[in-house]
A and B are shown apart, each in its own frame.
Chain A
Amino acid sequence: MQTQTQPMQESVWAGGRSPFGIRWGKLMMWVFLLSDAFTFGGFLVIYGSVRVITPDWPDPSRVFALHLFGKEIPLLLIAFMTFVLISSSGTMALAVHAGYEGDRSRCARFLMLTILGGLTFLGCQAYEWTKLITEGVRPWGNPWGAPQFGAFFFTLTGFHGLHVLSGVIYLSAITRRVLKGVYARRGSYEGVEIAGLYWHFVDLVWVFIFTFFYLF
């Protein structure tokens, strides 16, 4: 049989290697996060489209004010929650960094700090929900104005909170594996890096919820 053909292609898009220079696990996490971004994007856009046509939207900075030192401080709790979540993102980044350097115990320590941050955040959120519910906020109404306020509050923060909760569970599993030396034996802490992507994404979503739901 007589044939000719072009030589085997050598670009990164050719077979036999990853076009993105990353392995499948990490790529899959990125792709998953892209789709999850559309779930949250969907929620936020829906929220936006309702918000612009709803006249008597309660003022979030009043609703979420804390009474402290005899003064109403607007959004104090939310500001604290933001602080906690960003910090946990920071410790997560440092855990991934420790993983790159193959430092097992430092990696585990930062992971535990991250989990702690996540738990603190969840605690604050539980407090916030209780407070609002005792003040009379329900999915179908609230004392201050448009009933959609409560509906969106519970959906947005609830869905985000579920992500934080799954993140905490996910990170705990990863920490266990770090401590058991699974990644050290494998010579790759990619598992930590992938979990890190997820955690930062949860933080990223909070940035938008913080901006568009609480501050607007």
Chain B
Amino acid sequence: MAVHAEHLAHAHSESWIRKYVFSTDHKVIATQYIFTAYFMALLGGLLAALIRYQLGWGDQASPLLERLFPFGAQGGVIKPEFYLAIITIHGTILVFHFQTMMLTGGFGNYLIPLQIGARDMAFPVLNMLSYWVFLASCVVMLLSFLVEGGAAAAGWTVYPPLSVHAAAVAGSGLGQTIWLLSMALLIVATLMGGLNYIVTTLNLRTKGMSLMRLPLSTWGVFFASVIGLVTFPVLLAGAILLLLDRHLGTSFYMPTVYIGGQLVETRGGNPLLWQHLFWYLGHPEVYILAIPALGFIGDIIATFSRKPIFGYRLIIISFVVMTILSCIVWGHHMFTSGLNPYIAMVFSLLTILISVPFGTIILCYAATLWKGKIQFTTPMLFAIGFLSLVVTGGLGGLFLGTASTDLYLHDTAFVVGHFHVIMASSVLFAIFAATYYWFPKIFGRFMSESLGKWHFWLTFIGVYATFVPMHVMGLGGMMRRIYSPHAYQYLQQWVPWERVISIFGLILIGAQLLFVVNFFWSLFKGRRATDPNPWRANTLEWQTSSPPPHLNWGEEQPVVYRGPYEFSRPDTAEDYLPQNTPPVGVEVSGNGVR
């Protein structure tokens, strides 16, 4: 059924509200996601600055801090409870509200229909709802700073008993309840989004778009959604029980304990249970981030190396293996918890095993770069930075995945350094790469290349300078989630280290201002992307105008004849071949179907 031109033309003479606020167009929803998630990133970054300030100069009072946080920093020094709230919210919003939502709700939402040649998601209204629930989750989470006792303070892993008993820490009052509600909303939002991504990818592909012709970005978001679909609900169940423990007096997680010298008579609960449930999602969460990131990077690397991706099928198989393995390794976060040693061994083995598909993909990407005609654009720089970070982080992971070495390293700064390299930074790089790469498509203008290159180098150096020394500190015994190294005699040797790290960390955070400026400047003043396919890429999203019209395509949906990475074929004049280019000898009739 063809869409008539008048339809497309008058389709969107609707009110501003219908068009930009309560829109069901996946492109508008994706843009809303992108803005909201970046806003959360900004807040998370500011919280990181506070953390770094505290760890570097926590012994010195600062009148400015007191002015900013009259309650959290009386006398100019951040209070311990406030510090705990800061790291908790920092971790939570950057992992969930920023990175997860940016990759799936933001770019995934934008790209899936365009890359598979569909007109929209399968269920646009659900897609819109998903965004609004997500927004509610963000608002609720931020409000928790304002309630009595402050925001949740039990860490982003919210282990009981800290998170159950209101007297355990200041943030375990209303703040913790709000944290749980916000997470429940976020889980619902991800599930609603995930339903659409999975069903759309499977059912709405245009003619000729076989699974083995899907771009890696779409594959990545697809697998991430599958992982989320089977792991988030378990956390939801766990979170509901935690809420009941807090408010209905059940004791799923609370054993009989003394808190502050007071006997708390809760009988028979098992705090380890929560650890299992949390990490049953918590570990796959890393792959919910890593797999789409790998997907985006694959698209970008192929385009800017002007080469077909090496081992496309192998990469997909690796995705599948990672998807499965990622769901059965969660125990490696619990090696020191008194976990049954037999399952500890199994978890350890499986964890090491997962480096095989991961390594395979990285090797495939390296082989794609090999002898390519590499164009060092900003997105490509970030993509290469991503590969570098993933390799570095992976090396650290080997030590943490091995039960025997983890006993020593657990809960030290080594862990913080490790997951900031492998998750925080690498995924951040993928998000930046994706932003620079797809910006012209989404907004019809380019981001500035020169600012972008500055941004890249400062971020790249900043990340290594901030997070690698943390590994060293961890090996030397610096604990994690320590309020202040200044307060402990045995940590004095790390005070200078913390200061240097803080300097680099603040430079790193400051460098992101370049990105903010670039983003908004380019939005209004950037060079116009008159060519719909400026990077000369093959995937379908580049074959429609920038920004794409409502319902994505003109009268006819595109028809696909080839894979997504046919670059530099010897038999073609151009060095790229869009997926909808018909083979020679195929008559393309009026409706685009042969």
Contact = CB atoms under 8 A, between A and B. Distances in A.
A adjacent to B, CB under 8 Å: yes
Interface of A: 1-6, 8-9, 11, 13-16, 18-20, 23-25, 27-28, 31-32, 34-36, 38-43, 46, 49-50, 53-54, 138-140, 146-148, 150-151, 154-155, 159
Interface stretch (B200-208, B309-317, B460-468): B200-208
Contact of A23 (B194, B203, B232, B240): B203
Contacts of A14: 205, 208-211
B252 A8 contact: no
Contacts of B251: 140, 147-148, 151
Contacts of B206: 15-16
Contacts of A6: 562
B208 A155 contact: no
Nearest to B562: A5
A5 B203 contact: no
B591 to A, nearest CB: 13
Interface in B103-117: 116-117
A43 to B, nearest CB: 5
Contacts of B367: none
8 contacts: A1-B581, A4-B583, A9-B208, A23-B203, A35-B195, A38-B229, A140-B266, A146-B267
A35 B281 CA distance: 13
B236 to A, nearest CB: 6
Contacts of B116: 15
Contact of B270 (A25, A53, A151): A53
A192 to B, nearest CB: 18
Given A16-B207, A19-B202, A49 B273 contact: yes
B2 interface: no
A148 B584 contact: no
B240 A155 contact: yes
B232 A20 contact: no
Contacts of B204: 24
A159 B594 CA distance: 53
B191 interface: yes
A50 B237 CA distance: 15
Interface in B231-251: 231-234, 236-238, 240-241, 244, 248-251
A148 B251 CA distance: 7
Interface in B166-219: 191, 194-196, 198-200, 202-213
A18 B203 contact: yes
A39 to B, nearest CB: 4
Interface string B248-283: 111110000000000000111010010001000000
B234 A13 contact: no
B249 A20 contact: no
A127 to B, nearest CB: 21
Contacts of B237: 39-40, 42-43, 46
A3 B210 contact: no
B561 A8 contact: yes
B152 to A, nearest CB: 22
A86 B203 CA distance: 32
A5 B583 contact: yes
Contact of B250 (A1, A9, A23, A139): A139
B273 A39 contact: no
Nearest to B200: A24
Nearest to B210: A14
Contacts of A20: 202-203
A16 B203 CA distance: 8
A139 B469 CA distance: 49
Interface string B219-236: 000000000011111101
Contacts of A46: 237-238, 241, 252, 273, 277
Contact of B198 (A23, A31, A146): A31
A34 B195 CA distance: 10
A146 B277 CA distance: 22
A24 B198 CA distance: 10
A151 B250 contact: yes
A39 B249 contact: no
Given A19-B202, A32-B195, A41 B234 contact: yes
A28 B266 CA distance: 42
B207 A15 contact: yes
Given A8-B561, A15-B208, A24 B233 contact: no
B587 interface: no
Interface in B270-311: 270, 273, 277
A66 to B, nearest CB: 26
Contacts of A39: 233-234, 236-237
Given A147-B250, A148-B250, 18 more contacts: A2-B584, A3-B572, A8-B207, A15-B117, A16-B207, A28-B199, A34-B230, A35-B191, A35-B195, A35-B232, A39-B233, A42-B236, A42-B277, A140-B266, A146-B267, A148-B252, A151-B252, A155-B250
Contact of B205 (A15, A28, A147): A15
A38 B207 CA distance: 34
B230 A38 contact: yes
A8 B195 CA distance: 28
